Amino acid sequence: MDSRKKAQKAQEPRIFAPFAPSCGQFESVTKSSHSKVVAALPRCVLFLAFSLFTLCAAARPALLQTLDGRTFNGDVQFTNGAFTVDTTNAVPLTNLLRLSFGGDLNPSSSARGGGNGLLGFYFANTNLSGDPWVRLDENINFDWGLDEPVPELPKDQFSVIWTGELEVPAAGGYTCSFIAEDGGRLLLDGKVVAEGWHRQPGEGVTGSALTLHAGQRVPLRFEYVHSSGPARAQLFWQGPNTARSPIPKDRLHARSALTNHTATLGTSTSGLLATYYQKPDFTGPSWTRIDPSVDFDWSSIDPLPGYVRGNFSVRWSGQFLADNTEVYTFYVLADEPARLWIDGKLLLAIGGDNFFFERRESTALVGGERHDIRLETASKGGNAVAKLAWSSPSTPKAPVPVTHLFPSRPTPTRDPLIDLSDKTPPGVLLRNGTFIAGTVESATDNSVRLGGLLKGTPVSTVNIARILFQPLAKKLEERIRPGRAGLLLSQGDFIDAEFRGVDGSQVRAGSVLFGMRTYDAKKDVLAAILRQPAPGSSDCEVRLKDGSVLYASAITGEADALLVREPTLGPIKVPSSELTFVARRQ
96-124 per-position pLDDT tens digit:
999 988 666 766 554 577 889 999 999 99
Of the CA atoms within 13 Å of residue 100, those in its CB half-sphere come to 18
Q: What is the DSSP string of 181-202?
A: ESEEEEEETTEEEEEE-SPPTT
The pLDDT value given to residue 421: 53
The answer to whether the beta carbons of residues 8 and 73 sit under 8 Å apart is no
- In whole angstroms, give the CA distance from residue 365 to residue 173: 46
> For residue 470, which of 431, 498, 440 has the smallest C-alpha distance?
440
Mean per-residue pLDDT for 519-542? 89
Cα separation of 132 and 315, whole Å? 12
Q: Which residues contact 484 (CB under 8 A, 6 or more apart)?
A: 494, 496, 529
Q: SS3 for 237?
A: strand
3 state DSSP class of 499: strand
Which segments of 197-249 are extended strands (E)? 204-206, 210-212, 217-226, 231-239, 242-246
Phi, psi for residue 581 in degrees, rounded to 5: -160, 135
Residue 25 has pLDDT above 70, yes or no: no
CB 292 within 8 A of CB 274: no
Domains identified in the chain and CATH numbers: 118-246 (3.90.182.10), 268-409 (3.90.182.10), 423-566 (no CATH)
Pairing type for strands 261-264 and 286-291 reads parallel
Evaluate if residue 460 carries a pLDDT over 90: yes
Number of residues that make up the chain: 586
Q: What is the pLDDT of residues 163-196, one digit of tens each?
A: 999 998 888 999 999 999 889 999 999 999 999 9
The helices-and-strands tally (H runs, E runs) of the chain is 4, 53
Is residue 138 classed exposed, middle or buried when 0-12, 13-18 and 19+ CB atoms within 10 A define those classes? buried
DSSP state of 424: E
- Angstrom distance (rounded) from CA 444 to CA 225: 56
- End-to-end Cα spacing for the chain: 49
Paired sense of beta strands 554-558 and 26-28, if any: parallel
Does the pLDDT at position 416 exceed 50? no
- The 8-class DSSP code of residue 224 comes to E
Instruction: Give the span between the Cα atoms of 365 and 327, in whole angstroms.
Output: 6
Buried b (16+ CB within 10 A) or exposed e, 473-491: bebbbeebeeeebbbbbbb
Residue 246 has what DSSP assignment? E
Give the Cα separation of 488 and 287 in Å (integer). Answer: 44
The pairing of beta strand 183-188 with beta strand 141-145: unpaired
**Residue 512 in this model has a pLDDT that exceeds 80:** no
> What residues contact residue 105 under an 8 Å CB cut-off, 6+ apart?
63, 65, 98, 241, 583
Instruction: Identify the band that residue 331 occupies on the pLDDT scale cut at 50, 70 and 90.
Output: very high
Give one word for 568, left, alpha or beta, with left for phi > 0 and alpha for psi -120 to 50: alpha
CB 502 within 8 A of CB 426: no
Q: How far out from the chain centre does Cα 504 lie? A: 30
8 Å CB contact between 566 and 509: no
pLDDT at 118: 96
Question: What is the C-alpha separation between 271 and 27, in angstroms, rounded?
Answer: 51
Per-residue model confidence as pLDDT tens digits over 32-61: 333 333 333 333 332 323 333 333 457 888
Q: Return the higher-pLDDT residue of 239 and 220.
A: 220
Task: Read off the amino acid at residue 80.
Answer: N
E-assigned strand segments in 55-171 = 60-66, 71-79, 82-85, 89-92, 96-101, 118-123, 133-137, 141-145, 158-167
- Mean pLDDT across the chain, nearest whole number? 84
Q: Which residue has the higher pLDDT, 505 or 294?
A: 294
- Per-residue burial over 317-332, b if 16 or more Cβ lie within 10 Å, else e, is bbbbbbbbbbebebbb
Q: Which residues pair with 293 in a beta bridge?
A: none
Q: Which of 67-81, 87-101, 143-157, 414-428 has the lowest mean pLDDT?
A: 414-428
Local structure of 436: helix, strand or coil? strand
**At 342, is the secondary structure helix, strand, or coil?**
strand
- DSSP conformation class of 512: T
